[in-house]
Amino acid sequence: MNTKNVFATIKACYSLFKIKTAEGFQYRMAGLAGASTNIFWGLLEIIVYTIFYKYAENKEAGVMAGLNLRQVISYVWLTQVLFMMQPMSIDGEILSKINNGDVGIEMCRPLDLYSHWFARTAASRLTPLFWRGSITLLFAVIMPDTFRLGPPASLAGFACMLISVFTAFFLCTAFEMLVCAIRLNITWGEGPTYIMLLIGGILSGSYLPLQLWPEFMQDF
């Protein structure tokens, strides 16, 4: 691919990204409903962790693992704020084209298929992340002290977190593209793709902080 084609692909993907992002920003009520789910689930997790830290037989287990209760509460809120970054399913339009055999038409376009789908997937993930994440973050900050999201440890730590979130967004999108590639070669159902997405979510620490995993799984 020569330089001219590279720039043409980038321009086309950027235009597609803007269009899909603008479409996603229209679904404000869906974002509000999703944020309410995130807030409820976050509070539920915080209550469970609080019980674990205060009333467990070994109350210092979590602290010994490297997370005190305040850090766990902040972890829960950050997980809920960034929840939509985690790939939960393949983009609906892409999956429909795979099932209907319209991928052949996509491959006839004068545009790199991977770049095309990557831009579409990133845009479809960004707008829900903005609506749900911003509302959830607002509630997490104004919660009572017991349930509130804690401040960053330092300015440098906050900057590192922003860099991590930025790179994680592209990593999650690339992982979903890997799942799409696997789905292209599967003709007997959606099971393997959902299993991969579920395993990815578990290993990312979205369901349980990695520091609280059993010791024999820490090295893994």
Identify which of 178, 162, 78, 173 has the alpha carbon closest to the alpha carbon of residue 126: 173
- In single-letter form, the type of residue at position 164 comes to S
Residue 10 has which token pair?
Answer: 């980038």
Give me the residue spans of the domains in the chain: 3-210
Kindly give the confidence (pLDDT) of every residue in the chain, 220 residues in length, as a single tens digit, with 9 standing for 90 and above: 556 666 667 777 777 777 777 776 666 677 778 888 888 999 999 998 888 888 766 666 656 667 888 888 899 999 988 888 888 878 778 888 878 877 777 777 777 788 888 888 888 888 878 888 888 889 999 988 888 888 888 899 899 989 999 998 899 888 888 888 888 877 776 778 888 888 888 888 888 888 877 777 766 5
pLDDT score of 219: 65
pLDDT score of 11: 72
Task: Give how far Cα 180 sits from Cα of 43, 83, 139, 192, Å.
Answer: 33, 20, 34, 11
pLDDT score of 167: 92
pLDDT per residue over 83-108, tens digit each?
A: 888 888 787 788 888 788 777 777 77
Neighbours of 213 (CB within 10 A): 15
